[in-house]
Chains A and B, each alone.
Chain A
Amino acid sequence: MKSLYISIITIYCVAMTAIVNARPYLPDNDDFVLAVLPFKPSQSGPSDIDRLKQNLKSDPKNRLVAIELAKRYLEMAKQTSDPRYYGLAETVIKPWWNDSADLDLMMLKANVLEFDHKFLEALTVLNNVIKIHNHSQAILMRANINQIIGRYDLVKRDCTQLISDTSALIVASCLFSVDGFTSGPESTKTLISKLRDLLAISNVKNVEVQLWSLGLLAETASLNGYWPLAEELLITGLDIKQDDTYLLSLYADLLLKQARFQDTVDLLQPFIEQTSLLVRFLVANSQMLATTTYRVQQKNLDMRIREDEIKGDQRHLREYAYYQLYVKHNKEIALQNALINWENQKELIDSLILYRAAFDLNRLDVLQMLAVWRDDNNVKIDFAAQSLKI
């Protein structure tokens, strides 16, 4: 018995020492690389940004330079998936924030507002842009935002408006983003086949458009129950861009639905700095014998949630609802997060999370609200079958 006590105390002391060591440190050699900046000197990017920053510093009232710099920042945001660039872009155009006559400024403003999940404000800006300029990008962006907030009737209106001004693939993908969820499984299979054919013969070389189409196809296939097809499409997409967050989260959701937890962990392990992917990584881990990495990452996420609470930042409530529901099993908190999130965004994943949280808590009022929304928008996805049940 004495030796057991000694062993226990020893383990406890070692573990306590481990905590003490998890602190800031001094690197042991001067050459230690602390950060790798986004681009090497030979590549374009930051040098261009540095030049524009310098120009703006010497001429702070130069709107054209500010617009150019903000555009570069948004490009960097997309290339690096780093949201810092949105803050930098917003700051650069802030002096002209209410200048509704400038098309470029308004498009940048709409982008920043969309990033902030201020969807209604972004729509106001876009409506104004479209009214004055009838601008195709603004129409496509408005369709995209209407899709996020679940206004499918308005999405179709915008997609149709694009017919004369853009490629068949973009218009078809835009329409498919609604039809894929409102046509029922059998018709959707035909639609998927048609869009795949169009994607194959299209001369659109823009990778983002290709990924968008593939993502829509995969999400639709997955939510209509065509899982092998969805996986095939996702693999094709990830072959084009292996770190695409949208495709990775779709793939993780598909794997989780099939209880392929180890595959999910293997897929997401390199990308867990992204909150949406970290949450799915933790969901998969919670179903397996947990590792230290799992525990550490869970603590990381708990800290991010706490920080967002302090900041009043509600942009990640979808992910937090997912996490509370499937990892922490705090169903009340999950429902609360999912409801607040659903007030703002109604993509199908938002509805599925809300459905599962409400179902588990037997909240008939919420289930009824979802059913009404589904009927109003003619959504044919079976929430009970397609929401994650673990």
Chain B
Amino acid sequence: MRILSLIFLVLFSTSVTAHKSSDSYLSVDVEKSEISLRWDIALQDLQNVMNLDLNGDRNIQWSELKQTKESVFAYSLARLQLSSSTNQCQIIPGNIKVNQRSDGHYVVLYAHATCDVEIEMLSIHYELFFDVDVQHRGLLKLVSNGVESSFAFSPEVSRKSFDFEKSYTGDSFFRFLSEGVWHIWIGFDHILFLLSLLLPAVLFQYQKKWQGIDSFPYALMEVIKIVTAFTIAHSLTLSLVMMGAISLPVMWVESVIAFSVIIAAANNLRPFVTKKRWILGFVFGLIHGFGFANVLSELELSNNTLFATLLGFNVGVELGQLAIVLVFMPIAYLLRNGWFYQNIVFKLGSVSIASLGFIWLIERTI
């Protein structure tokens, strides 16, 4: 029955693939001729090449890591080379910290490198652990002028050069600003919700009949209140969701957004919130924020640039909204007293928006 002796190597060997493999995380931040380094290396990987368990109790304690700090730096930095187009950069070890990841603790090495001249091209030669683990990967995040590049070093590709002049195309803020603008323009549910709230801003109801407002500043103030309430609400939930503080199921969020479109449009046909319509904007704006967060979470985000990302995306959404308001306000104000605006744009428009919202609601709940 020799087959039984090693049978566990034969059966289900794919079941262990689900765990995280050996990776280190190298962050390189370039500023003119100076480079800041942060390198997260799994203690488990380090233990395989050097003894961190000094007292042999099969635990690695913080005191033991501090005592072996110089050896850890020496071993790691001997396997990393940075060079500019003209010379090799000198790497100077700094402090250590630790970081908990899904597969255990990592030592975080901080270092600093000087390259003599302003860096236009940086070559990185990564060799950590390749001699003991051919499946190890070095995941690089390179930041220069706020622009991030990613790369994975492997035994097959252990050298990589980065040309900064070519990669300076914009920073996180501007990239996500354009994402924000784009999203509000393609997000018809957000636009229609906002429009439903804005349509009556140039009207008032007198004896159950809609009439045009005489004062442009008054109408403008109404619009500003609605847009501001909507903006604050969705910015709040968007930020909280992106920070992991709150969460809601996607399907539920999308359904409530569709419902909000129906409510906002129905309020124009059978008004139930007549004075403080900004309250509708605020309440449902909270839910629309979850919707924005779902979009943003699909994009490539970095924790280091999360603030800039959120700010950029939010500002982008606001600019998109502002463009809608700038187009809507003058036209609506000019047409407000006419039959066309009051019947076709306002009433028929609201019916159409409510119908569309209803279709979305059905689609998103079934």
Which residues of A come within 8 Å of B, CB atoms?
5, 8, 11-12, 15-16, 18-19, 22-27, 29-41, 71, 74-75, 77-78, 81-84, 86-88, 90-91, 94, 107, 111, 114-117, 136-137, 140-141, 144, 148, 165-167, 170, 204, 206, 208-209, 212, 215, 245-246, 273-277, 286-292, 294-296, 298-300, 302, 304, 306-307, 310-313, 315-316, 319, 327-330, 345
Set B43, B44, B61: member contacting A31, Cβ < 8 A: B61
Known: A31-B61, A84-B21. A166 touches B1 (CB 8 A): yes
Known: A31-B63, A35-B47. A274 touches B19 (CB 8 A): yes
CB distance from A53 to the nearest CB of B (A): 9
| Structural contact, B44 and A15, CB atoms closer than 8 A | no
| Structural contact, B247 and A208, CB atoms closer than 8 A | no
Q: Given the complex, which residues of A lie within 8 Å of B63, measured CB to CB? A: 30-31
| Structural contact, B17 and A329, CB atoms closer than 8 A | no
Lowest 6 A-B CB distances belong to which pairs? A87-B135, A290-B247, A30-B63, A24-B97, A87-B133, A208-B8
Q: Given the complex, which residues of B lie within 8 Å of A87, measured CB to CB? A: 21-22, 133-136
| Structural contact, A25 and B98, CB atoms closer than 8 A | yes
| Structural contact, B43 and A111, CB atoms closer than 8 A | no
Residues of B227-276 whose CB lies within 8 A of A:
232, 235-236, 239-241, 243-251
Interface hit among B112-120, B163-171, B178-186, B296-304 = B296-304
Which applies to chain A's interface (DSSP): helix, strand, loop or mixed? helix
| Structural contact, A84 and B133, CB atoms closer than 8 A | yes
Which applies to chain B's interface (DSSP): helix, strand, loop or mixed? mixed
Set A15, A137, A287, A330: member contacting B249, Cβ < 8 A: A287
Set B20, B154, B251: member contacting A273, Cβ < 8 A: B20
B53 adjacent to chain A (CB < 8 Å) = yes
Interface residues on B, range: 35 or more
CB<8 Å pairs between A and B, sample of 29:
A8-B232, A11-B236, A15-B239, A15-B240, A18-B243, A18-B245, A19-B303, A27-B62, A30-B63, A30-B66, A31-B61, A35-B43, A35-B60, A37-B47, A37-B53, A83-B21, A83-B22, A86-B135, A111-B13, A117-B14, A136-B2, A141-B10, A144-B10, A144-B12, A209-B7, A246-B15, A290-B246, A295-B246, A329-B251
B6 adjacent to chain A (CB < 8 Å) = yes
CB distance from A272 to the nearest CB of B (A): 8
B306 adjacent to chain A (CB < 8 Å) = yes
Q: Given the complex, which residues of A lie within 8 Å of B44, measured CB to CB? A: 35, 82, 84
Set A23, A33, A91, A307: member contacting B134, Cβ < 8 A: A91
| Structural contact, B18 and A34, CB atoms closer than 8 A | no
Which residues of B come within 8 Å of A, CB atoms?
1-4, 6-23, 40, 43-45, 47-48, 53, 56-63, 65-66, 97-99, 102-105, 108, 131-137, 139, 150-152, 154, 232, 235-236, 239-241, 243-251, 297-298, 300, 303, 306-307
A31 CA / B65 CA spacing, docked (Å): 11
Find the A residue at minimum CB distance from B46.
Answer: A35
| Structural contact, A275 and B3, CB atoms closer than 8 A | no
Set B56, B134, B243: member contacting A94, Cβ < 8 A: B134
CB distance from B313 to the nearest CB of A (A): 15
A30 CA / B60 CA spacing, docked (Å): 11
Known pairs A116-B135, A117-B14 / 4 extra A-B pairs, C-beta < 8 Å: A31-B63, A167-B1, A277-B18, A328-B298
